[in-house]
Amino acid sequence: MSEPFQRVPGGIAVDLPSQLRHWLAESAKEASDDAVTMESPVHRRLLGPIDPSQDHDDPIVELQRQFSVEGSLGVFIATADAELLSEEEAEEWIRAFQLMLAAAAARFAIVDEDDVARLDEEQTAIVTTLQAGISLLIEALEA
Amino acid sequence: MSQADFEISPESGTSQAVAVPWEVILWNDPVSLISLVVRVLKKVFHYDQAKAERLTMQVHNEGKSVVWTGDKEQAAAYCVALHGYALNATIQQAQ
């Protein structure tokens, strides 16, 4: 069985089942939508103020962060079916997986290790799948 | 840097203003992988492997770490870069 991510001439080869790619793309869309929904815990986690003593970031900082989140998730959604990623796209996949992971953690109200321990089977599978993807992508990029 | 970033030095009375630095604080989060945090600290701050690992383990064991100190604009820029990887980072003026 081949590696899901492998360094090859020209970039990072991706070998993921289509069902998993579809699920990841849907997760990315969900994270992107929730990030801009003010009352969502995902919005607070991904776009809460960087200075907790303030209610809002500086508007320029706010825009930079929103573009960054939308950009990484957008690149992932656009390339979810790709069989070969450039280095830059692979880096965006790591960012996107991390954003999806943080979004899932916010939805599951994970604050500490005890919260991770009480996750149900499906929630645990979501967290561990995303963590595995990040770990394997890092390995491939650093190979 | 705004005027609020300066305080009067107690040693010198009113004649000398001292810049109060800002800190980038990285908070522990129970789902981000240690390998990811080390990689991001190396990438964003250009820290070497040993320093990135030391700071990451401080975050993991103590709940947080001051990962950079300096002027407010740069602190905000670094914090935004960490958020690009969904890491839980904030800025605050040094105590």
pLDDT in tens, B39-82: 999 999 999 999 999 999 999 999 999 999 999 999 999 999 99
In angstroms, rounded to a whole number, what is the distance separating the alpha carbons of residues A50 and B92? Answer: 9
**B contacts of A104 (beta carbons < 8 Å):** 31
In angstroms, rounded to a whole number, what is the distance separating the alpha carbons of residues A38 and A36? Answer: 6
Residue contact A127–B83, C-beta within 8 A: no
CB atoms within 10 A of CB B14: 7
Buried b (16+ CB within 10 A) or exposed e, B59-68: beeeeebebb
Domain boundaries defined on chain A: 5-142
pLDDT tens digits for B3-44? 445 454 555 555 455 688 999 999 999 999 999 999 999 999
pLDDT of residue A55: 82
Extract the tokens encoding B47. Answer: 């820290």
Residue contact B80–A101, C-beta within 8 A: no
- Per mean pLDDT, which range of A80-84, A115-119, B35-39, B91-95 is the poorest? B91-95
In angstroms, rounded to a whole number, what is the distance separating the alpha carbons of residues A67 and A52? Answer: 21
Residue type, B27: W
Residue contact A102–B86, C-beta within 8 A: yes
- Domain B21-93 bears CATH identifier 3.30.1390.10: yes
Exposed (0-12), middle (13-18) or buried (19+): which is B74, by Cβ within 10 Å? middle
**A contacts of B29 (beta carbons < 8 Å):** 102, 105
- SS3 assignment for chain A: CCCCEEEECCEEEECCCHHHHHHHHHHHHHHHHHHCCCCCHHHHHHHCCCCCCCCCCCHHHHHHHHHHHHHHHHHHHHHCCCCEECHHHHHHHHHHHHHHHHHHHHHCCCCCHHHHHCCCHHHHHHHHHHHHHHHHHHHHHHC
Q: Decide if B18 touches A, using CB distance below 8 A.
A: no
pTM: 0.89
Selection from A92, A90, A103 nearest residue A137 by Cα: A90
* ipTM for this model: 0.92
Residue type, B17: A
Selection from B72, B7, B1, B88 nearest residue B40 by Cα: B88
